[in-house]
Amino acid sequence: MKIAVCIKRVPDTETRVKIAGDGVSIDEAGVKFILNPYDEFAVEEALQRRGEPGEVVVVTLGTDAAAETIRTALAMGADRGVLLKVDRIPADALAIAKALAAELKDGGYDLVLFGKIAVDDYNHSVGVMTAELLGMPCISAAVKLTVDGRRLTVEREVEGGIEVDECELPAVITCDKGLNTPRYPALKGIMAAKKKPIETKPAALPAARVTVRSLALPPERKEGRIVGEGAAAVPELVRLLRQEAKAF
């Protein structure tokens, strides 16, 4: 199968971010960037589905620095990368989807995979919008994929149960946690990635219609309080949970 995986470079989820001076972006100084964790599921799934003959192409829209993220996917085992270069990733998901769709539409892909969200902006949008622009069926937040010829069966975790969907290839799938266990980039893979091709070209990015107006950090959590010790403290704890914390 020829599979495209659309990935994104995001700040490490363990990083404590600071807001930059412009008030609408984060200060990247000292921040470690990683391959978006949901995209790791997409890369892993693509590698498992590739087959022979097959090709896994990773595509990202980002700055020059995103080449490192592409190489992470190449180190995991993807075959080649495409970097759609921008000076800054816009907040407008549709603009990004259009740039990705322009790259993907003539690629002859059987399957296009995304992570279900990027953990930095939580948009949930780019994958499904890209599917629409490509005219492909889209199933989001997949936890299991089964391919039988050109028929794709996808399981999704919905409220209280599992939904099983079907569609024909080519299709766009966004991947959720639980789909697989992503492999580590092996050391040989890291060395091999240096020799794999990355094509860099300017992104065909339309004007953004959505912009970020402000960013704010969540309010600091208040300090905890010890209401007492042992069984005698339980009634007071229950009262506070009910009346102050409104936990139930």
Partner 1 sequence: MASAYEGVDFYDISAQLSEEERAVRDTVRAWVDEKLMPVINEAYIEGRFPRQLVPEMAELGFFGANLPEEYGCAGLNNVAYGLIMQELERGDSGVRSFASVQGALVMYPIYAFGSEEQKKHWLPKLASGELIGCFGLTEPDYGSNPAGMITTAKETASGWVLNGAKMWITNGSTADVAIVWAKTGAIDDTKSIRGFIVPTKTKGFSARDQKGKLSLRASDTSELVLQNVEVGKDALLPESGGVKSPLMCLTQARYGIAWGALGAAMGCYAEALAYAKQRVMFGKPIGGYQLQQARLAEMLTEITKGQLLVLHLGRLKDQGAMRPQQVSLAKRNNVNVACEVAREARRLLGANGILVEYSAMRHMANLESVYTYEGTHDMHTLILGEDVTGLAAFE
Location of structure tokens 């028929």: 151
Figure out which of the listed residues 188, 195, 213, 225 binds partner 1, where binding follows CB under 8 A.
188
- Residue 122 found at the interface with partner 1 (CB under 8 A): no
Q: Footprint of partner 1 on residues 133-162 (CB under 8 A)?
A: none
Q: What is the DSSP letter of 26?
A: B
Shortest reach from residue 68's CB to partner 1, in Å: 6
138-148 and 151-158 beta bridge pairing: antiparallel
Interface with partner 1 by CB under 8 A: which range of 29-37, 127-135, 140-148, 157-165?
29-37
Residue 236 CB, nearest approach to partner 1 (Å): 21
* Residue located via tokens 């097959």: 54
Contact residue for partner 1 among 162, 164, 191, 237 (CB under 8 A): 191
106/220 with CB nearer partner 1: 220
Applying CB under 8 A, among 17, 25, 37, 54 the residue interacting with partner 1 is: 37
Query: Closer CB to partner 1, residue 40 or residue 45?
Result: 40
The alpha carbon of 182 is separated from its chain's Cα centroid by a whole number of angstroms, namely: 13
Of 1, 167, 190, 204, the one binding partner 1 (CB under 8 A) is: 190
Do 126 and 114 meet the contact criterion of CB atoms below 8 Å apart? yes
Whether omega for the bond prior to residue 53 falls within 30 degrees of 0, making it cis, is yes
51 Ramachandran zone, left/alpha/beta (phi>0; psi -120 to 50): left
Mark the segment that binds partner 1 (CB under 8 A) among 64-72, 166-174, 202-210, 240-248. 64-72
Residue whose CB is less far from partner 1, 10 or 46: 10
As a whole number of angstroms, the distance between CA 109 and CA 187 comes to 29
Q: How far apart are CA 79 and CA 5, in angstroms?
A: 11
- Using CB under 8 A as the binding criterion, the count of chain residues that bind partner 1 stands at 21
Judged by CB under 8 A, the residue of 5, 47, 66, 75 near partner 1 is: 75
**Nearest in space to 9 (alpha carbons), one of 69, 83, 93:** 69
Question: Residues 8-27: x/- map of binding to partner 1 (CB under 8 A)?
Answer: ----xxx-------------
**Exactly one of 5, 35, 57, 118 binds partner 1 (CB under 8 A); which one?**
35
* Ramachandran category for residue 211: left, alpha or beta (phi over 0 → left; psi -120 to 50 → alpha): beta
